[in-house]
Amino acid sequence: MDRILISDLRVRCIIGINDEERRERQDVTMNLVIFADLINAGKSDRFEDAVDYRRIKKQIVAMVEASKFHPVEALAEAVARICLENPRVSEVQVRVEKPSALRFARSVGAEIRRRRETHGGVIGY
């Protein structure tokens, strides 16, 4: 399966379970692997045949900046959901990291992989 890579997307949001984490926005870094069939866009050289990853990125940034998730796992799940709303995306791998969240560690995070599925004609994941 073909892939689109979005690397080191940095966004600020409220994330965490401790009171001090809930007061001020923190940096999070996201890496996405978006799985889609890219053959038509590659052959036609037409934007209409491509996955609009700029639009996906804008949707993610808007959602994350307005969010107040507790664990990074919940944030990763919401990001995956946005990616899978695009009908050209069949699967997504999302990695969310909080830099300096643990003492002596560069970052801590979670990585998930979600797939579009069809249930009785309804698209879900």
> Which residues are catalytically annotated?
98
Distance of CA 1 to the CA centre of its chain: 18
Give the span between the Cα atoms of 102 and 33, in whole angstroms. Answer: 25
Neighbouring-strand partners of residue 80: none
Among 108, 111, 97, 105, residue whose Cα is nearest residue 28: 97
Burial of 87 (0-12, 13-18, 19+ CB in 10 A): exposed
